[in-house]
Amino acid sequence: MRELPRVASGAALLLAVAVAGGCGGDGSGGGSSRSEGVSAKQQVANYFAAFNRGDGAAACALLTPQAEAGVPGLSDRVESPDCEGAIRELSRVSEHLRSPQVAVEVTGERAIAKVRNRRPPYQSDVLLQKGDDGWRIAFPPALLERYTTPPGIRSELEEHGR
């Protein structure tokens, strides 16, 4: 029996935040320009790149203050009390997405980025907020944590040489 990677998804919380914040959007892009969508998309790509490198300073600089404060609570495996240290720790215990597909819908000062990946299987939504200094991630992507299978049982990740 093979176990699949565990995705700690915050989709329910993200939807609650999106509905409460009025950033639902009807898909028409109401009032948003293409350049705003590209900018938000680039911030998500920058976050994944920094996360994959374990660069806590760069990753945390892309977050809103509230999101930055919440990073140490994203996993039970984190011992660091600050965002930068937590990102370094999370990068070591999480599967890295090399080329995720990111689609962004911008509605005013908020955007939702839908992140999808085939190998390893992954999907998460990212909430972004636009401020005076540009787009910041208000709700980071879910983690895809590595895990250890019972002795003698190979995991799907091991089979793919990870």
Instruction: Tell me the per-residue pLDDT of 32-69, one tens digit each, with 9 for 90 and over.
Output: 444 444 489 999 999 999 999 999 999 999 999 999 99
pLDDT over 90 at 11, yes or no: no
Residue 149 has a pLDDT of: 53
Q: How confident is the model over 92-143, as pLDDT tens digits?
A: 989 888 889 999 999 999 999 999 999 888 999 999 999 988 999 999 998 8
User: What CATH number belongs to 9-16+26-146?
Assistant: 3.10.450.50
Residue 9 has pLDDT above 50, yes or no: no
Which pLDDT score, from 0 to 100, does residue 2 have? Answer: 39
Q: Which two tokens stand for residue 108?
A: 């005013």
pLDDT at 144 over 50: yes
The Cα–Cα gap between 108 and 37 comes to 11
Residue with tokens 């203050």: 65
The amino acid at residue 88 is R
Distance CA 112, CA 17 (A): 11
**pLDDT value at 19 more than 80:** no
